[in-house]
Amino acid sequence: MTAETKTESATAPAGGSCCSPTGSCHDGAADVQIGGVTTVYQVTGMTCGHCEGAVSSEISEIAGVTSVKAVASTGRVTVISDAPLDEAAVREAVDEAGYELVDRA
């Protein structure tokens, strides 16, 4: 999936985040946002666009996931979901794609 979903934080001032362009200042924590929960994971082994697509595809199949953006150069995978996800389900999806979920970023 290549499209990104942009949501504004429930506590952010109108027009964007108080912290950064990404809307997150809580390193490693899931941020509850209007329209979903954003969680960033660290994944090892991704080296290219194909890797990004494989990880995004598998995570997208988890119930409640509305958006996935994987970046091979950083190993970060940003997931937006309706509610907090079971980390074991995310770990299993990343494993199924052939990569390793290290932890939340």
* Residues in a beta bridge with 36: 33
Task: Classify domain 31-104 at the CATH class level.
Answer: alpha beta
pLDDT at 76: 98
Confidence of residue 35 (pLDDT cuts 50, 70, 90): low
Amino acid at 84: P
Mean pLDDT rounded to a whole number for the chain: 79
**Tens digits of per-residue pLDDT, 52-66?**
999 999 999 999 999
Report strand pairing: 100-104 vs 31-33: unpaired
Q: What are phi and psi of 71, to 5 degrees?
A: -125, 110
* In the chain, where the domains are located: 31-104
Q: What is the pTM of this model?
A: 0.68
Query: Can you tell me whether residue 77 is helix, strand or coil?
Result: strand
Report strand pairing: 76-81 vs 65-71: antiparallel
pLDDT at 30: 53
CA dihedral 88, 89, 93, 96 (to 10 degrees): 60
Euclidean distance between CA atoms 30 and 24, whole angstroms: 9
